[in-house]
Structure 1
């Protein structure tokens, strides 16, 4: 079992950051994040997430043009913004990723299954990305508030990938955090049957 410090890093003390310190995130750290997150469970090992790590000023400007006004400065000042996409043709990789049965046939021609599987499992992988980033000492700022069509055209043109959500990565300025918001209790959110 993880010790309390590790649990605090991943969950209890982790916060959504909006303001970033001027401290870079290395390409090696981005590789490390992926090498951790790729082991997270997905249905039939489908792993539909496709990630674009936006670091350069030019690409940040391009992404900033796709987000809502309240997210522009967040994108421009974060060291990295991860665009978590979902490959709508993920099932083409299933002969490699799930070789012990013909899982590809479960999806060919079944658009509803493709869409729900891609969305659900890329969302899981996005959460794994955030946990991996926190595990290596980075902070996260996941966001909605963007024009999905613009992001798809700007970053995924000519592919079967569509954006799911975006997440800033870096070293958050803890002095600029809002007070922590409450959470629902176990009794309010769960039941054991």
Structure 2
């Protein structure tokens, strides 16, 4: 299928397809242009509607803006991630709330006893928190792109260190650190290949 034929199969306009996927890249440098609280709220208020299992919504976000906040964060990152994070106008630490089930009676009223299954099984609750928060991480990155900003998601960090620094009560677990802003000088690495449809999809 050609690129034009692929585009025609989708309801989303070509410009939006390109903004979110084809032309979007992971940024490795950022300009000094600030990212506002209003932009972040607009991003969240868009992506919060994306689906999760049982509407769990375990994602929690810590925004790191200040020099003091970055000095708390940087020692826990891999060395290669520190310089670009220090220069990014905004950094988001995305975490999974392991006590998301406390909100289930409000956000998933269709099953009044749903909370009980997570109370009874700690491993099930933790796995569910991480899986669904990871889905929300992906939505968040798309939301950043939808706002016309670049995202630089990273998993190269010491999770225990970040958890101890930013989530000392032990209820939240860091998943991804995302640098956010307008692209800076030479922000992109070369585009890497993707697996083709026939390598991924099987019909039974």
Structure 1-normalised TM-score? 0.96
Match of 1:157 among 168, 193, 196: 168
Match of 1:144 among 145, 149, 155: 155
SS in 1 for 2:38: helix
Tell me how far 1:138 sits from its aligned partner: 0.6
- Residue 8 of structure 2 corresponds to which residue in structure 1? none
Runs of 4+ residues over 4 Å off in structure 1: none
- Residue 91 of structure 2 corresponds to which residue in structure 1? 81
Query: Contact 2:91 / 2:180 at 8 angstroms: preserved in 1?
Result: yes
- Residue 112 of structure 1 corresponds to which residue in structure 2? 123
Query: Contact 1:63 / 1:75 at 8 angstroms: preserved in 2?
Result: no
- Mapped to 1, the partners of 2:188 and 2:142 lie a distance apart of 19
| Range with greater deviation from structure 2 (183-192 or 123-132) | 183-192
Count of matched residue pairs: 193
Tell me how far 1:175 sits from its aligned partner: 3.1
Q: Unaligned regions of 5+ residues in structure 1, if any? A: none
SS in 1 for 2:28: coil
- Mapped to 1, the partners of 2:186 and 2:95 lie a distance apart of 31
CA RMSD of aligned residues (A): 1.1
Tell me how far 1:158 sits from its aligned partner: 1.9
Q: Name which one, 1 or 2, has greater alpha-carbon Rg.
A: 2
- Residue 60 of structure 2 corresponds to which residue in structure 1? 50
- 1:23 paired to 2:33: yes
- 1:132 paired to 2:143: yes
- Residue 20 of structure 2 corresponds to which residue in structure 1? 10
- Mapped to 2, the partners of 1:152 and 1:86 lie a distance apart of 11
Query: Contact 1:139 / 1:169 at 8 angstroms: preserved in 2?
Result: yes
Q: Unaligned regions of 5+ residues in structure 2, if any? A: 1-10
- Residue 34 of structure 1 corresponds to which residue in structure 2? 44
- Mapped to 2, the partners of 1:58 and 1:161 lie a distance apart of 21
- Mapped to 2, the partners of 1:156 and 1:89 lie a distance apart of 13
Distance 1:174 1:127, change over 3 A: farther
Tell me how far 1:6 sits from its aligned partner: 0.2
SS in 2 for 1:65: helix
